[in-house]
Amino acid sequence: MSDVEQQPPTRELSVRISSAPAPAASTWQLVQQALRGGEQDYTALPLRRAVLLLAIPMVTEMAMESLFAVADIFWVSRLGADAVATVGLTESLIATVYAIALGLSVAATAVVSRRIGEGNIVGASTAAGQVLLLSLAIAAVVGSLGAWSAPQLLEWMGASAGVLEIGTRYAQIMLGSSVFVLLLFALNAVFRGAGDAVTAMRSLFLANLANIVLGPIFIFGLGPLPAQGVTGAALATCIGRGLGVCYQLALLARSRSRLQVQPRDLLPQPDVLWNLLRLAGTGTLQSLLETTSWLGLVRILSTFGSAALAGYTIAMRIAIFALLPSWGMANAAATLVGQNLGASRPDRAERAVWVVCMYNFVCLGAVGLVFTLLPEPLTRFFTTEPEELGYAASCLRIVALGFLFYAYGMVLVQAFNGAGDTRTPTVLNVLAFWCFKIPLAYLLALHFELGPKGVFIAITAAYSGLALMAALVFRRGRWKTQRV
């Protein structure tokens, strides 16, 4: 809800199981339980157990999402620098779609988790239906505009003639199929908000499996199927995501599902829609501020040629492979914050965030150390071109230096969002990315003539600064009084 009071929660359909702590379990049993799923009361379980039961499937889910990026670039890199640059430029363009999807996800998690924490399953199911309705409406507009304007957007981004020749169709397919991105992200956020992280994980597993199998078939051809080059990568990705969405919709329609979306839940409900739009609007702006800042970085890098852009694309795909599972940790924090605030337990919500930060710090710190010490072997897996390899290794090493800061920053930002306080991260993004990252990248790369390395340094500095600011604001505790 927004600032308008809703009806009392429906207690007879409460999701609560039992407030009694579960018996102690071994680590392996806990992993098995987390991956198997099942209803839990995350407002009453021992805190570390609650964190792990949510985080394990969410980390696995994000690992599946990161494999989309790595699988595509692995095969596309065999097609040459122009093909890799096509993927990099298109990803920068579709970042706007991801921003909208993330905005919808923020709204879905905040509202559904709050209703679940209150014990209001009917309200949570209604919110899920309105998320679906809103996602379809937005996808119709975004997809059609993206497919129509793809060639002009690539040209504006500084694409070379070679990239325009092979990449236009790729960009049209990726932008035109935005509905799958929006629904996959938003509906997974619904499941996560309800504490059903396993369903979100399985939908990404299905989507990713299809993408991995179909990618090389469509790119290089198999039997009667002709080789379609970089366009084949787009087709494989879209089909994979489409299958994941079908799985989500089938579960939401089942009568035995934790959240069952019925036809009445798809009828427009102005109060709920406005609440979702309010949160999604700020959440989208928050994400757009970040993602469009990457467009600025790509525009700066494009002045140094396709090799620099290809090296940057490869390095960031590898970095995303490590960071997306950490976003799974952050998503667990968002769910715990929303559900515990709904259950009127704000102090427990805060403790949960710091526990998740600690786990993320350990995991991401270990990965960052490997990336810092061994960037060349990792990037050589994707390219053997000396110039591309040099840029990719430099980017990966410099970006990994900030992983310890990222570990805290991403969790704290998602904690604000889980509480429904989307305004605070938005302000922080303005400061970190537009007042600091872009100007610093321009100055270091062009004015001080550090070239692409100046852009890489600016990335690390900006995200480290964001983490420090988020920690200071989080400790003030105003997010605990946010109404959703």
CA–CA dist 482, 476 (Å, integer): 13
On the question of pLDDT at 417 being above 80, the answer is yes
**Mean confidence (pLDDT) of the chain:** 88
State pLDDT tens for residues 306-317. Answer: 899 889 988 998
CA–CA dist 183, 188 (Å, integer): 8
Contact between 207 and 184 under an 8 Å Cβ cutoff? The reply is: yes
Sole residue written with tokens 């051809």: 221
State pLDDT tens for residues 146-195. Answer: 888 888 888 887 777 777 877 888 889 999 988 999 999 999 999 999 99
Domain boundary assignment for the chain: 47-481
CA–CA dist 107, 363 (Å, integer): 28
For residue 14, name the pLDDT band (cuts at 50, 70, 90).
very low
289: buried, middle or exposed (CB in 10 Å: 19+, 13-18, 0-12)? buried
Tokens coding 391: 């840029």
Q: What is the pLDDT of residue 430?
A: 96
State pLDDT tens for residues 33-91. Answer: 888 887 888 999 999 899 989 999 998 888 777 676 677 778 888 888 888 888 878 88
* φ, ψ dihedrals at 421, nearest 5°: -95, 75
Q: What is the pLDDT of residue 69?
A: 66
Least-confidence region, from 18-32, 236-250, 377-391, 446-460: 18-32
Least-confidence region, from 313-317, 355-359, 465-469: 313-317
Q: What is the pLDDT of residue 179?
A: 92
Contact between 191 and 197 under an 8 Å Cβ cutoff? The reply is: yes
State pLDDT tens for residues 109-118. Answer: 999 999 999 9
On the question of pLDDT at 23 being above 50, the answer is no
Q: What is the pLDDT of residue 166?
A: 77
Least-confidence region, from 250-264, 408-422, 467-481: 250-264
Q: What is the pLDDT of residue 84?
A: 82
On the question of pLDDT at 4 being above 70, the answer is no
SS3 445: helix
Average pLDDT over residues 101-120: 94
CA–CA dist 184, 246 (Å, integer): 9
Least-confidence region, from 245-249, 292-296, 309-313: 292-296
For residue 18, name the pLDDT band (cuts at 50, 70, 90).
very low
Q: What is the pLDDT of residue 133?
A: 95
